[in-house]
């Protein structure tokens, strides 16, 4: 068991977070943790949780909280004592105590001249933090002092890490780490001193002095104070380029104590070469590990650079922009100049930094760059630009204007905003191929004896899918192979983003997945951050209307959404699609979800459910009209969202909303072949809504009956529909009565009860006319045509089906029209009119294919195969039967089960004229076909066929 207070209060057991309750129980637990292994009286705990004026019920409430905590933690961990309570935990079970131990070890290691161990301990200590200490109990009276103490120690750990980095000669990393401290604590002189020294050792004397002057300005303006003597002395030493700066320990570093004299600094790092004007330009540094995949991206970027002078690679942190850009530069013929901007936060130093990249003196400007480069054909790589994009736009524009032979390749989470800029969004790696290859390659470096078998390959694929193929995330996960199996890694990813790397060559921002996202999140403004969190409620893609309805709550969405897209935290999908859809990577969505409080999350999910209900209600109507195809595609795009809404409805004790949503989605499930899913959702919601209004239960039961019928579960279908009819007859709504009668007629006809079936069919038509819904009338007439055919009255069947077709055509209800043509083909076959049957079946197939229907299309295709056998083309019919079996098997649908009465005749019409071997060969051809191949086959089949 592990207790965490360095961030929100949390208890985990085996990596699984335990439920510890709301703010007051968390405050009680935090107070016990801070006094772990000591007895705290009830009065002391009451004071800790409520302060000096607790409510009268405080003691009883506390006992309730502690009792619940004991059930979660175990009585042996949270012990009751006559004098109060005691939480039993080893020090390393509490992250704050483990942090303090690691910090002490790190400081001691530095003091004894072991910077590697000091750096490692400081890194491990800082990695324990998940946010400000005691983040969720800051209002508790006892918390403030401990928050301040731990916060100070966190700063000390960060400074210790910088001292270790400088001692190890990691100047670049030291600059970045020290700059992060100064950005958050600009008046902390030790951090300023570390940054000044790191900048100086990195050959950036002017930046080091600028850092001192900025700190002095803040102190003078804010407090009327000058910097301390140590900081002023360091500035003087930098100004005169004192050689001792290259060998002295960092300010505030531990010292050794000599028995013969006073404490003396310990030189802890090697000497470096002093900076000089006109130094060599930065080289293109490539990582030592293998570059995986990205051939298409490499070609496209090179082509864009050949056409345009400014190309910006965009994408979220960790998407591989830097690695891809450097690989592009390596393969280009012209000289490459590199500007690494991750550690630069002062826009006023941009010109000098760019000049330095061209080998010029550190105080040179862009005019000097123009004079040096002239008309030469060169490439400038600007890496990690996002935090300086606005100021950088002016610099890049001047460079491109003054240097006609210059081309610029930039990496940034957002575009630079310069005219002529071409953005290249860096996509995630394809999960099944490149992402898995990257994982296996990086895992091989840390687990050389591991061999990936077929089962583990599937697990690795799931890991890469969970991480959206984001290269940094995949690499960090692969690094865990040193200690974890793929299954363990996948399990940890199920509830945490806290995967970290231990490689010393990784920049600070890439040491963990969470840090990479943090860096992106910090670039957002307030409205963008709010929208980013709220958009996490969407399970997959969404459009602007959905974002405005669910996440907008009446506020402007387009402006902050645009910022999220340009900042690479939201991506557009389906370029050219109307309307445009958007998506957050799953790992970004998980991060965003954690930004929401419980109340906001619950409110958003209710709003998301209401939106899904409105969408499904409109779609249920739209699927039965001329715009059906658009609605099929809309529901297909929203499938993940509607599933999430259904799950929430059941989990949030909203089963009636869930049942209504499932009912309105049932017609989509029916036509797309999602039979198992639809049956499961309908059963779950119906079972949870025994007290629902009769009309709602009737609609849901009829929907269930239709899916069970299509699945070939005819007995269950009849039972559900009979219950639906009984309920519908008690409600004052003719539409559900009509639908229930329609399905009852089918059920009775299949049982051979023709007269009862005819009466049910007539009732279906009567109630359909009363409802005023022509789509329902079209279905009812189609059913009655089928019933007349079942009675052997083929003339009435044909006339009734023709009327159903006319009604359906008048309102654009293409499914009902095609379904009636399907029945019409069966009537023609009964009458021995094989050619007419073939034409009607072909019409049904084409109509349903235009709708991208699955189940009806397969049933019509099965019938078409039979009519081919009837018209002397049995071999072609066998091919189509194979296609029905293959596609239907993949979709989980069989026309033979749904239509057990006519299917044998259709199969016999194909098999009888053929030998078993000829039938098997032709059917085997069809088994390999997909839907597009079937379309091509039918086109060849009917090409020049006047009968079609």
In the predicted structure, residue 797 carries a pLDDT above the cut 60: yes
Is residue 781 over pLDDT 70? yes
Say if 618 falls within a structural domain: yes
| Model confidence at 365: pLDDT above 60 | yes
In a domain, 271, yes or no: no
- Does residue 35 form part of some domain? yes
Query: Are residues 651 and 752 located together in one domain of the fold?
Result: yes
CB 818 within 8 A of CB 848: yes
Q: How confident is the model at residue 263 (pLDDT cuts 50, 70, 90)?
A: very low
Residue 946: pLDDT over 60: no
Mean pLDDT estimate for the chain: 85
Query: Is residue 885 a part of any domain in this protein?
Result: yes
Percent of the chain with pLDDT strictly greater than 70: 92
Q: What integer pLDDT is reported at residue 823 of this predicted model? A: 93
pLDDT value of position 290: 85
- Strand pairing category for 39-40 and 84-87: antiparallel
Checking if the pLDDT of 336 tops 50, the result is yes
Q: pLDDT tens digit string along 214-238?
A: 888 888 777 777 777 778 778 777 7
pLDDT of residue 654: 92
| pLDDT band at residue 251 under the 50/70/90 scheme | low
pTM of the predicted structure, to 2 decimals: 0.61
Domain boundary, last residue among 371, 400, 425: 425
Give percent helix, percent strand, percent coil of the chain, each to the nearest 5.
Answer: 65, 5, 30
**What digits encode the pLDDT tens for the residues 495-508?**
445 555 444 455 55
As a whole number of angstroms, the distance between CA 613 and CA 345 comes to 48
Claim to verify: residue 728 and residue 649 sit in the same structural domain? yes
Tell me, what's the pLDDT at 511? 52
Are 415 and 442 in the same domain?
Answer: no
DSSP β-bridge partners for residue 379: 336, 407
Distance CA 26, CA 933 (A): 61
What is the mean pLDDT of the segment spanning 733-753?
89
pLDDT of residue 673: 82
Same domain (yes/no): 766, 674: yes
Same-domain status, 7 and 141: yes
End of a domain among 555, 577, 596? Answer: 596
Chain-centre distance for alpha carbon 728: 42
Cis peptide before 597 (omega within 30 of 0): no
- For residue 536, what are the domain limits? 524-596
Same domain, 240 and 176: yes
Question: Number of folded domains in the chain?
Answer: 7
Which residue in the block uniquely carries the two structure tokens 């953005």? 423
Q: Model confidence over 432-472: pLDDT tens digits?
A: 888 898 899 888 888 888 888 888 889 999 888 888 888 88
Residue 204: CATH number of its domain? 1.25.40.10
Is 251 a domain residue? yes
Same domain, 304 and 245: no
Maximum Cα interatomic distance, the chain, rounded to a whole number of Å:
120
No. of H helices and E strands in the chain? 43, 16
pLDDT of residue 790: 86
The whole-number average pLDDT for the span 759-771 is 93
What's 531's domain CATH number?
A: 1.10.10
Q: How far apart are CA 527 and CA 514, in angstroms?
A: 21
**For the residues 460-487, what does the mean pLDDT come to?**
86
**pLDDT-wise least confident of 204-208, 776-780, 835-839:** 204-208
| Phi, psi torsion values for 83, nearest 5 degrees | -95, 0
CA nearest 779: which of 747, 751, 740? 740
Tell me, yes or no, whether 419 and 321 share the same domain.
yes
**pLDDT surpasses 90 at 524:** no
- Please name which of 699, 683, 604 lies closest in space to residue 648, comparing C-alpha atoms: 604
Structure tokens, 172: 């670049």
In this structure, are 769 and 631 located in the same domain? yes
How many residues make up the chain in this entry?
948
Q: Is residue 837 part of a domain?
A: yes
- Is the Cβ–Cβ distance between 375 and 420 less than 8 Å? no
pLDDT band at 615; cut points 50, 70, 90: very high
* pLDDT of 874: 94
Give the pLDDT band of residue 65 (cuts 50, 70, 90).
Answer: confident
Residue 576 has pLDDT above 70, yes or no: no
Work out the average pLDDT over 651-671. Answer: 93
Helix (H, G, I), strand (E, B) or coil at 339: strand
- Report how far residue 777's alpha carbon sits from residue 764's, in angstroms, rounded to the nearest whole number: 8
Whether residues 650 and 764 fall in one domain = yes
Are 580 and 628 found together in one domain? no
550-565 residue pLDDT tens: 988 667 889 999 888 8
Question: How many angstroms separate the CA atoms of 603 and 606, rounded?
Answer: 5
Return the structure tokens found at 39: 């007895």
What would the two tokens of residue 346 be? 């002062």
Tokens standing for residue 538: 């969407």
Determine which of 97-101, 177-181, 366-370, 697-701 has the lowest per-residue pLDDT on average. 366-370
Q: How confident is the model at residue 259 (pLDDT cuts 50, 70, 90)?
A: very low
Q: What's the pLDDT at 594?
A: 87
The pLDDT of residue 264 is above 50: no
Where among 596, 614, 634 does a domain terminate?
596
**Domain membership flag for residue 275:** no
Q: Are residue 39 and residue 131 in the same domain, yes or no?
A: yes
Q: Is 64 inside a domain boundary?
A: yes
| Across 294-308, 501-515, 869-883, least confident range | 501-515
Which pLDDT does position 846 carry in this prediction?
93
């Amino acid at each position: 068991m592990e207790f965490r207070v360095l961030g929100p209060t949390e208890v985990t057991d085996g990596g699984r977070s335990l439920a510890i309750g709301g703010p007051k129980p968390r405050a009680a637990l935090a107070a016990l943790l801070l006094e772990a292994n000591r007895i705290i009286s009830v009065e002391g705990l009451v004071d800790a949780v409520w302060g000096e004026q607790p409510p009268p019920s405080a003691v009883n409430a506390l006992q309730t909280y502690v009792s619940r905590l004991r059930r979660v933690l175990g009585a042996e961990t949270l012990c009751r004592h006559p004098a109060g309570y005691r939480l039993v935990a080893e020090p390393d079970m509490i992250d704050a105590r483990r942090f303090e131990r690691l910090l002490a070890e790190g400081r001691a290691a530095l003091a004894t001249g072991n910077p590697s161990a000091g750096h490692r301990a400081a890194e491990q200590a800082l990695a324990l933090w998940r946010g400000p200490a005691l983040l969720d109990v800051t209002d508790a009276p006892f918390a403030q002092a401990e928050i301040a103490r731990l916060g100070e120690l966190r700063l000390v750990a960060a400074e210790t890490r910088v001292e270790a980095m400088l001692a190890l000669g990691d100047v670049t990393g030291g600059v970045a780490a020290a700059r992060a401290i100064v950005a958050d604590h600009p008046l902390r002189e030790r951090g300023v001193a570390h940054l000044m020294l790191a900048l100086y050792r990195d050959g950036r004397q002017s930046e080091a002095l600028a850092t001192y002057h900025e700190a002095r300005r803040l102190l003078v303006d804010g407090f009327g104070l000058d910097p301390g003597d140590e900081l002023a002395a360091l500035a003087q030493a930098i100004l005169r380029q004192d050689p001792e700066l290259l060998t002295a320990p960092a300010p505030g570093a531990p010292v050794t104590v000599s028995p013969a004299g006073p404490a003396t600094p310990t030189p802890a790092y090697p000497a470096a070469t002093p900076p000089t004007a006109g130094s060599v330009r930065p080289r293109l540094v490539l990582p030592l590990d293998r570059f995986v995949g990205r051939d298409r991206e490499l070609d496209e970027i090179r082509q864009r650079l050949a056409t345009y002078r400014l190309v910006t690679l965009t994408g979220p942190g960790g998407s591989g922009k830097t690695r891809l850009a450097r690989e592009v530069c390596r393969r280009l013929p012209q000289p490459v100049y590199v500007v690494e901007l991750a550690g630069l936060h002062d826009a006023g130093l941009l010109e000098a930094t760019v000049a330095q990249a061209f080998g010029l003196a550190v105080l040179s400007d862009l005019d000097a760059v123009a004079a040096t480069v002239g008309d030469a054909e060169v490439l400038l790589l600007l890496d990690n630009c996002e935090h300086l994009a606005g100021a950088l736009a002016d610099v890049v524009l001047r460079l491109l204007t003054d240097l006609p032979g210059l081309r610029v390749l930039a990496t940034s989470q957002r575009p630079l905003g310069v005219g002529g800029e071409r953005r290249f969004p860096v996509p995630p790696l394809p999960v099944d191929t490149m992402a898995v290859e990257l994982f296996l390659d990086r895992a091989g470096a840390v687990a050389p004896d591991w061999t990936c078998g077929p089962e583990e390959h599937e697990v690795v694929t799931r890991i890469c899918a969970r991480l959206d193929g984001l290269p940094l995330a995949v690499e960090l996960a692969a690094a865990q192979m040193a200690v974890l199996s793929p299954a363990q890694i996948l399990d940890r990813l199920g509830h945490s983003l806290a995967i970290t790397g231990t490689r010393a060559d990784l920049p600070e921002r890439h040491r963990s997945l969470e840090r990479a996202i943090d860096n992106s999140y910090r670039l957002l403004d307030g409205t963008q951050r709010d929208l980013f969190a709220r958009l996490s409620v969407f399970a997959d893609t969404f459009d602007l209307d959905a974002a405005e309805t669910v996440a907008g709550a009446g506020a402007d969405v387009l402006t902050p959404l645009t910022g999220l897209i340009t900042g690479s935290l939201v991506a557009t999908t389906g370029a050219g699609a109307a309307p445009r859809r958007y998506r957050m990577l799953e790992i970004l969505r998980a991060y965003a979800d954690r930004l929401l409080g419980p109340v906001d999350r619950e409110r958003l999910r209710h709003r998301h459910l209401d939106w899904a209900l409105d969408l499904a209600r409109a779609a249920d109507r739209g699927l039965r009209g001329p715009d059906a195809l658009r609605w099929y595609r809309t529901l297909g795009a929203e499938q993940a969202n509607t599933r999430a809404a259904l799950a929430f409805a059941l989990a949030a004790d909203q089963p009636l909303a869930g049942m209504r949503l499932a009912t309105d989605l049932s017609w989509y499930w029916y036509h797309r072949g999602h039979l198992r899913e639809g049956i499961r959702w309908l059963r779950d919601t119906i079972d949870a809504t025994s007290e629902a209004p009769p009309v709602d239960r009737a609609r849901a039961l009829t929907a269930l009956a239709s899916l069970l019928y299509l699945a070939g579960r005819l007995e269950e279908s009849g039972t559900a529909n009979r219950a639906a009819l009984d309920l519908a007859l008690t409600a004052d709504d003719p539409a559900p009565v009509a639908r229930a009668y329609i399905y009852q007629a089918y059920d009775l006809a299949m049982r051979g009860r023709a007269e009862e079936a005819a009466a049910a069919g007539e009732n279906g038509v009567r109630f359909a006319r009363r409802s005023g819904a022509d789509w329902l009338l079209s279905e009812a007439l189609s059913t009655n045509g089928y019933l007349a055919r079942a009675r052997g009255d083929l003339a009435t069947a044909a006339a009734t089906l023709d009327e159903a077709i006319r009604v359906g055509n008048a309102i654009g209800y293409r499914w009902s029209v095609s379904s009636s043509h399907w029945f019409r083909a069966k009537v023609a076959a009964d009458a021995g009119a094989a050619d007419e049957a073939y034409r009607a079946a072909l019409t049904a197939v084409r109509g349903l294919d235009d709708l991208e229907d699955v189940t009806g299309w397969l049933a019509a295709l099965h019938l078409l195969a039979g009519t081919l056998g009837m018209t002397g083309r049995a071999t072609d019919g066998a091919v189509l039967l194979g296609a029905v079996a293959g596609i239907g098997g993949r979709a989980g649908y069989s026309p033979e089960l749904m239509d057990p009465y006519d299917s044998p005749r259709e199969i016999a019409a194909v098999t009888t004229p053929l030998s078993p071997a000829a039938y098997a060969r032709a059917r085997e051809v069809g088994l390999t076909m997909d839907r597009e191949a079937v379309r091509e086959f039918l086109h060849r089949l009917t090409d020049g066929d006047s009968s079609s």
